[in-house]
Every structure is written in C-alpha cells, then in structure tokens.
Amino acid sequence: MAWMSGSIVSARSWRAVAVVCAASLVSACMTAQLEESRTMDTNIGSGEAVVLLAKPHVEGTSAEDDFMDCVSQKMARNSGIRIQGNDDFQDQMFPWFEPSTAPQRPEGVAQLLTRPAVRQRIEENGVRYIVWVDGLTRQTDSGGSISCAIGPGGGGCIGFGWWEKESDYDAIVWDLQEAKSAGSVSTNVTGTSALVGAIVPLPFIARVQGTACDRLAEQLGGFLHGVDPTVAAAAGTY
C-alpha cells in the first residue's frame, strides 16, 4: 500500500517480522511485519512539531480516527515529540490541507510551499513534518461455529469459532522545511482470535489494531529522531 511517487531511490531500507503468541489454553497469535525506507536524514528539533493526517481518498476508507488518535498519543508520550492535532492544523491551514484539496504527492507540497501565506502559517505553527497515514483494520477470514442454550437445569455454550484480522498501515513522512519526502514506515499485523464454548464462552482475543498502533508509533518516533532501526531492533525497542 505504499504510495510514495516518482523515481525516489531509498538510501536505506529495513524489514523485520515478529510472531507473538499469548500463553493460554488456546493461543491468540499475531504476526507483525515492520518496514522502513529512508530517503533523507531526519532529526526533529525540540521546538518542531509533527502532524499526523489520514491520507485523503476519493473513494474508499481512510485510516480510522481512533487509530490516528492512538498513534498520536503514544508518539507524544513515548518519544517526546510534539504532536499538533490534525483538526487544529487543518483549521490553521484552511483550505490547503482539507481532504478534498490536500496535495497527495511530494511535488504538490513543494508547489504549495511556494505560496508566501502557506509558508508563513507553517512557520508560525512550528510543524516540521507531515505524516500521511494510509490503511485500515479488517477481518480477513473466519470459521467454526458456537451455540448457546438455556434450559431448566441452566445454560451453556459449546463449539469453537475463530476469526482473523489484519491491520495494515503505511506512513509517509514529508519534510516541510525541505519540501521533500523523507521516507516511509509501515506496519502489518495479522492475528487470529478464538471463542471456545466450554459451558462459559472463553474468548482469546488478538489485539491486532492495538499492536499496530504501538508498533507504528514506535517506528515513527525512531524514524523522526533519526534512530537506526537495526540498532533499535538489536536493543529490543522494536
């Protein structure tokens, strides 16, 4: 789902895959794949801010609001980066970053920044990087069955049901000072949840979207601070 355009060649790229299973009678397992592609160095300053925006779509679904809020909050808390609210940013930059008018390619941003009014507002609000987030969480498969009944002697459930979900998100980082794309990070998490009918239904839930939020926030924080992902992986950060 990467949507970086043009003939930009990545100077450095990194990928990692991790599998996490919850220890239980029935394991809820998740597979997380992380990727990073960098085209220029980043090292966000203490007075600079980042805004996360859902990539605008003419058709289809943008990244969910609750997911965007989750990533913003965890980035601010864990990486110390100042995050400007997307609604505040869009209001300040109206009408240039509304979903229907926002540039969708790096060259569109460069052209937009040639306007003195746009450049002035960017400097006033201190936003150095825009992160366009694209993706969603969806159910990809399911199976089994479970039934419950209530009788004179009590009630209970029997059976086994399962479902698989995938959270797939890409984040493109634009450097507004340089009017260029700095690179991208992406997170793909798949997980299988189950419901076991053993008198009382026993759920085993894979926190697919929550895990994707944690990973993407951590990736973006490291990316913007200029952390080498191979070093972070060796240290157990990712």
Residue-wise pLDDT for 18-33, tens only, equals 766 554 444 568 899 9
Read off the pLDDT band of 8 (50, 70, 90).
Answer: very low
Structural domain total, the chain: 1
Residue 180 token pair: 């260029």
Domain annotation covers residue 65: yes
- Domain containing 107 equals 28-137+166-189+208-232
Domain annotation covers residue 6: no
Read off the pLDDT band of 135 (50, 70, 90).
Answer: very high
Domain annotation covers residue 119: yes
Give the C-alpha separation, 82 to 168, whole Å.
25
Q: Is the pLDDT of residue 207 over 60?
A: yes
Domain annotation covers residue 51: yes
On the question of a cis peptide bond just before residue 95, with omega within 30 degrees of 0, the verdict is yes
Site of tokens 């969910």: 64
Domain with residue 120: its CATH number is: 3.40.50
Decide which of 17 and 1 is more confident: 17
Domain annotation covers residue 53: yes
- Across the range 193-198, mean pLDDT stands at 84
Domain annotation covers residue 150: no
Least reliable range by pLDDT among 35-49, 161-175, 196-210, 222-236: 222-236
Tell me: the pLDDT tens digits for 68-110?
A: 999 999 999 999 999 998 888 888 888 888 877 777 776 777 8
Residue 48 token pair: 């600079």
CA angle 23, 24, 26 (to 5 degrees): 120
Q: What is the pLDDT of residue 23?
A: 44
Decide which of 7 and 105 is more confident: 105
Nearest to 167 by CA among 195, 139, 133: 139
Residue 43 token pair: 């090292």
Query: Which range scores top for mean pLDDT: 57-66, 96-105, 170-179, 208-217?
Result: 208-217
Domain annotation covers residue 158: no
Least reliable range by pLDDT among 33-42, 108-117, 209-218: 108-117
The answer for residues whose C-beta is within 8 angstroms of residue 23's C-beta and 6 or more apart is none
Q: Is 228 helix (H, G, I), strand (E, B) or coil?
A: coil
State the average pLDDT for the chain: 82
Q: What is the pLDDT of residue 167?
A: 96
Give the C-alpha separation, 80 to 82, whole Å.
6
